[in-house]
Structure 1
């Protein structure tokens, strides 16, 4: 009766996964601005949503996406309605300021505290790459619409 039970689970010490002990990595407020500038307000919403998920505030992620998409649609409608004499800056700066202000309101103090405690941030090169992918997707999605409404 001294034979071990082959169906018994082995006695092992449980360890926490490395991902759970890794430091929190966030996007800075400047990253949200850069993403909005390079890849529309939807890219800025992506950065905000990623920070909210990292901070455990998943309930606010949908609202961030709605604001980013809503700003993009608003700027497209204004671009179609306003005369061509309106400078392009009028379509770039409002979403940029809106997304930056929204990000500061949501997690500005948390990001400042994270920076003061020498917490890691994602690289702005990563932000630029993701933003350019959002812009590419936007242009690819916009081409059929332009061809539909302007066949000549």
Structure 2
């Protein structure tokens, strides 16, 4: 890490440093468990896991991106088929129609919950050793993804 970044990190409060390290660990574990994710997709997944039921615009703000970027991430993270490639089926976007506004809320799917549960197990049980990919998340209607998710 360049000196100026190390100095910025040192200037953070103790709790902030702890949160940064935990977030980095969570991203690392998530990417090890499910190597098809990009870092922005992993960040979106973690934000939804941390607070299910957020509307899409709030989720975009929490992730620090524009709504169009979150929409792209959600297309991949849901079960949508894009150009012949199935989505990852980790999140679901539910629409709710109200008087004048259409609200869209984001939740974990059963598959997303299984991934989150596995992340917690790995992080609690020795995150320093090699993390095997999650074969348990294979969808029965799809062939295995090169032995990993």
Do the two structures share a fold, i.e. TM-score over 0.5?
A: no
Report which of the two has the higher share of helix.
Answer: 1
The higher relative CO (CA closer than 8 Å, separation ≥ 6) is in 1
